[in-house]
């Protein structure tokens, strides 16, 4: 319809989000990630001590085994073997018990970090302006909040402890090895650098693949969220696009499979080399050490201890190599999370913001300009005033800027020029809660949650009692519906309220507004698609709701326009006419033209009905 609320569509193709990808090199990203652990500094200290103790006890057990071999070779007394075994048993049991405590502390720290990160990301997303949501697919947002955070969680709860445990193992084991035979230890140490270069190469490649995998996964989530929702499923069936959607999903599924295989195989040759070398090292040590034993340069126990320590050294080093690969690939996920956390909050609450305690509902627009995308302005130098308790109707062609006025009043966006005041206060000087508490809306599209009818109504005021929710439902004309439902207000309405009709959903929106009882009411009438009786009932309910409130109506119907204290006619983001119904008709401008196009039939029908009533 030509007089339907416009302007909001501009947000749908909103300006591209700023590139908020974290700047700086990898070390800066690592430092920022490490900063998330600051609140757990004491727990981290305890975890490090536990790791150091368990590693030391584990390697002491290896040394004790070597001593036991020497005792056996020397045919020592059984008491000495028993004593060594008792010490070995104490070391192993102590290491195992402390390992359980270590796992608990590690999980507590990791889950705590992820809990804070998840909450921080969720709270930040809630603070972003509507521009972000009109420019970003829902599936992409959900992917970052769930899949990406879970991926970081897996890395956080294992990477740090594995790295420190392996590092302590390397340091302590090499200390023992140099104390046993410095030549063998030095030869072992010289082999390690051969792992550095391939580790870095594999890590960079894995990071690239991980980024591509998460991006493709987000695209798949977005597609599934769109096509498998109630609206998407109905649209798919309506146009018979099941095969098309299956092909689209198949392409994304194939891409994920390919990326997953490449991720798994990226480091396969490197891992094979690590495993091969780890198997050859003990044999080489026994061969070289055996020659030393034959020459009476080393004891058998020393060679056994050295071989076991060498195995312990190459295992942790291979683990560190894999951890490095995991860490590098995890950075891609961390970057995606920080990208959202770094998005600027366009509509922010000032620290000294004023909280309105008794709002009256007086609204003023002073030279307001706003653009969803520059340079095209959705509103251009818009000025008007609505005294408290008055009704103003906004009319004009689609896209003229009417809905944008309501968006700015609710501070979904801030104007680029001019200001909007509420009871004399600039909206930017008020708390966001003040604005939300002062303004209620009944929009064209009523969004309902997949929960009970009661909970959907109570969303208007969360502290409302069941009796107040029942009263609001009755006042909105939902009494007959509630009486028909077997569970009454406790009936689940289905996803987006699909178990209710359009008129019933509108009544739920009215009930919410009644329960909220705001001084300012925004009505975007959505009765044009309803039958005459239902339209009249909805109109009566909204008229009752509007009494005594400052009301802004995006007008679709003649009755609403006639009842308005003032009509603002919008065209291309400007107010081109203003006045009451009769004045604007007499002027013969845009309003009169719109009236002839849209309201003439309604007026004729109303006149005919009046004539019939008069004859009766």
pLDDT band at 496 (very low <50, low <70, confident <90, very high): low
How far apart CA 506 and CA 526 sit, in angstroms, is: 8
Share of the chain above pLDDT 70, in %: 79
Give the per-residue pLDDT at 579: 93
Using a 10 angstrom Cβ sphere, with 0-12 exposed, 13-18 middle and 19 or more buried, the burial of residue 283 is exposed
For residue 116, pLDDT over 60 is answered with yes
**Cβ proximity of 143 and 221 under 8 Å:** yes
| Topology alike, domains 36-341 and 363-446+520-615 | no
Residue that the structure tokens 């509630």 belong to: 482
Closest to 69 (Cα-Cα) out of 58, 59, 80: 80
Sign of CA dihedral 202, 207, 212, 218: positive
Q: Which residues of 594-613 are buried (b: 16+ CB within 10 A; e: fewer)?
A: bbeebbeeeeeeeeeeeeee
Q: Would you state the structure tokens that stand for residue 235, as one six-digit string?
A: 């649209």
How far apart CA 318 and CA 272 sit, in angstroms, is: 11
Q: Which of 73-87, 147-161, 584-598 has the lowest mean pLDDT?
A: 147-161
Domain ranges of the chain: 36-341, 363-446+520-615
pLDDT band at 101 (very low <50, low <70, confident <90, very high): very high
Q: Which of 109-123, 152-166, 455-469, 574-588 has the lowest mean pLDDT?
A: 152-166
For residue 612, pLDDT over 60 is answered with no
DSSP character at residue 445: S
**Cβ proximity of 578 and 564 under 8 Å:** no
Q: Would you state the structure tokens that stand for residue 418, as one six-digit string?
A: 């001019």
DSSP character at residue 525: -
For residue 4, pLDDT over 90 is answered with no
Question: Which one is predicted more confidently, 595 or 610?
Answer: 595
41's CB contacts (< 8 A; 6+ apart) are: none
**Cβ proximity of 384 and 550 under 8 Å:** no
For residue 393, pLDDT over 80 is answered with yes
Cis peptide before 506 (omega within 30 of 0): no
For residue 427, pLDDT over 70 is answered with yes
Q: Which of 102-116, 150-164, 166-180 has the lowest mean pLDDT?
A: 150-164
Closest to 274 (Cα-Cα) out of 228, 325, 235, 227: 325
Over residues 505-562, the pLDDT tens digits come to 888 888 888 888 899 999 886 554 455 566 666 667 677 777 778 989 887 666 667 8
Q: Would you state the structure tokens that stand for residue 239, as one six-digit string?
A: 């146009």
How far apart CA 13 and CA 374 sit, in angstroms, is: 12
For residue 118, pLDDT over 70 is answered with yes
pLDDT band at 154 (very low <50, low <70, confident <90, very high): low
Give the per-residue pLDDT at 274: 62
Give the per-residue pLDDT at 392: 93
Average pLDDT in the 104-117 region? Answer: 86
Give the per-residue pLDDT at 318: 65
Q: What is the dihedral of CA 458, 461, 462, 468, to 10 degrees?
A: -60
Q: Which of 44-58, 67-81, 267-281 has the lowest mean pLDDT?
A: 267-281
Over residues 25-36, the pLDDT tens digits come to 677 777 887 788
Q: Which of 46-55, 100-109, 139-148, 389-398 has the lowest mean pLDDT?
A: 139-148
CA-CA distances (angstroms) from residue 85 to 62, 79, 91, 612?
A: 11, 10, 10, 110
Over residues 578-600, the pLDDT tens digits come to 999 999 999 989 998 888 876 55
What is the CATH architecture assignment of 36-341?
A: Up-down Bundle (1.20)
Over residues 177-226, the pLDDT tens digits come to 888 878 878 877 777 666 556 665 666 677 677 778 877 887 887 777 77
Share of the chain above pLDDT 90, in %: 18
Over residues 446-494, the pLDDT tens digits come to 788 888 888 888 988 888 899 999 988 888 888 888 888 888 888 888 7
How far apart CA 158 and CA 328 sit, in angstroms, is: 14
For residue 151, pLDDT over 90 is answered with no
What is the CATH architecture assignment of 363-446+520-615?
A: 3-Layer(aba) Sandwich (3.40)
Residues across the chain: 616
In the three-class reduction of DSSP (H, G, I as helix; E, B as strand; rest coil), residue 522 is classed as: strand
Partners of 391 in the beta sheet?
551
CA-CA distances (angstroms) from residue 316 to 167, 271, 321, 612?
A: 7, 13, 8, 94
Over residues 243-280, the pLDDT tens digits come to 888 888 888 888 888 888 887 776 666 666 666 666 77
Q: Which of 148-152, 321-325, 572-576 has the highest mean pLDDT?
A: 572-576
Q: What is the mean pLDDT of the chain?
A: 79
Using a 10 angstrom Cβ sphere, with 0-12 exposed, 13-18 middle and 19 or more buried, the burial of residue 279 is exposed
Question: In terms of DSSP bridges, do strands 379-386 and 439-442 run parallel, antiparallel, or are they unpaired?
Answer: unpaired
Give the per-residue pLDDT at 302: 80
For residue 15, pLDDT over 60 is answered with no
Give the per-residue pLDDT at 394: 93
Q: Which of 75-79, 80-84, 115-119, 318-322 has the lowest mean pLDDT?
A: 318-322
Partners of 395 in the beta sheet?
569
Give the per-residue pLDDT at 428: 94
Question: Which one is predicted more confidently, 529 or 94?
Answer: 94
Give the per-residue pLDDT at 568: 95
Q: Which helix (H) or strand (E) holds 186?
A: helix 182-191
Give the per-residue pLDDT at 250: 86
DSSP character at residue 595: I
């Amino acid at each position: 319809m030509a007089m339907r609320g416009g302007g909001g569509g501009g947000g749908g193709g909103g300006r591209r989000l700023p590139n908020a990808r974290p700047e700086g090199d990898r070390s800066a990203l690592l430092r920022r990630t490490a900063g998330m652990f600051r609140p757990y500094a004491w727990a981290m200290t305890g975890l490090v001590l536990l790791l150091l103790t368990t590693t030391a006890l584990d390697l002491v057990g290896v040394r004790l085994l070597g001593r036991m071999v020497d005792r056996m070779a020397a045919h020592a007394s059984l008491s000495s073997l028993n004593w060594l075994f008792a010490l070995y048993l104490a070391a192993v049991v102590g290491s195992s018990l402390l390992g359980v405590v270590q796992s608990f502390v590690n999980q507590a720290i990791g889950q705590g970090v992820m809990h804070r990160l998840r909450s921080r990301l969720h709270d930040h997303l809630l603070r972003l302006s509507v521009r972000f949501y009109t420019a970003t697919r829902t599936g992409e947002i959900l992917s970052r909040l769930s899949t990406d955070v879970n991926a970081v969680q897996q890395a956080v709860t294992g990477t740090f402890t594995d790295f420190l445990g392996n590092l302590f193992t390397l340091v302590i084991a090499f200390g023992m090895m140099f104390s046993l035979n410095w030549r063998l230890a030095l030869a072992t140490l010289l082999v390690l650098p051969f792992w550095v270069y391939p580790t870095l190469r594999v890590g960079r490649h894995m990071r690239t693949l991980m980024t591509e995998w998460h991006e493709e996964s987000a695209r798949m989530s977005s597609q599934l969220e769109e096509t498998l929702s109630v609206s998407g499923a109905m649209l798919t069936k309506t146009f018979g696009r099941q095969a098309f959607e299956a092909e689209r999903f198949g392409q994304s599924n194939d891409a994920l499979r390919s990326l997953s295989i490449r991720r798994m195989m990226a480091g396969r040759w490197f891992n094979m080399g690590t495993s091969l070398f780890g198997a050859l090292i003990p044999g080489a040590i026994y061969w070289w050490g055996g020659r030393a034993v034959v020459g009476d340069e080393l004891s058998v126990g020393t060679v056994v201890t050295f071989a076991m320590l060498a195995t312990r050294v190459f295992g942790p080093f291979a683990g560190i190599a894999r951890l490095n690969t995991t860490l590098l690939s995890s950075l891609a996920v961390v970057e995606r999370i920080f990208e959202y956390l770094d998005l600027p909050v366009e509509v922010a609450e000032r620290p000294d913001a004023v909280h309105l305690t008794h709002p009256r509902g007086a609204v003023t627009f002073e030279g307001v300009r706003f653009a969803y995308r520059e340079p095209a302005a959705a509103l251009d130098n818009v000025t008007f005033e609505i005294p408290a308790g008055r009704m103003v109707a906004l009319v004009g062609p689609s896209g003229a800027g009417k809905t944008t006025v309501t968006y700015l009043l609710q501070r979904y966006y801030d104007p680029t020029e001019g200001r909007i005041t509420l009871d004399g206060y600039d909206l930017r000087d008020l708390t966001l809660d003040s604005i939300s508490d002062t303004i209620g809306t009944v929009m064209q599209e009523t969004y309902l949650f997949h929960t009970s009818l009661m909970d959907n109504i109570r969303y208007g005021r969360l502290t409302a009692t069941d009796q107040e929710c029942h009263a609001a439902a009755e006042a909105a004309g939902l009494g007959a519906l509630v009486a028909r439902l077997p569970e009454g207000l406790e009936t689940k309405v289905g996803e987006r309220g699909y178990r209710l009709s359009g008129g019933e959903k509108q009544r739920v929106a009215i009930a919410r507004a009644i329960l909220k009882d705001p001084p300012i009411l925004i009505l975007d009438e959505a009765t044009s698609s309803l039958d005459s009786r239902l339209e009249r009932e909805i109109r009566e309910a909204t008229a009752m709701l509007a009494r005594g409130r400052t009301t802004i109506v995006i007008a679709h119907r003649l009755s609403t326009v006639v009842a308005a204290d003032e009509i603002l006619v919008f065209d291309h983001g400007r107010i081109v006419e203003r006045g009451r119904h009769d004045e604007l008709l007499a002027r013969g401008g845009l309003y009169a033209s719109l009236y002839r196009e849209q309201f003439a039939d309604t007026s004729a029908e109303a006149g005919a009905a009046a004539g019939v009533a008069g004859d009766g």
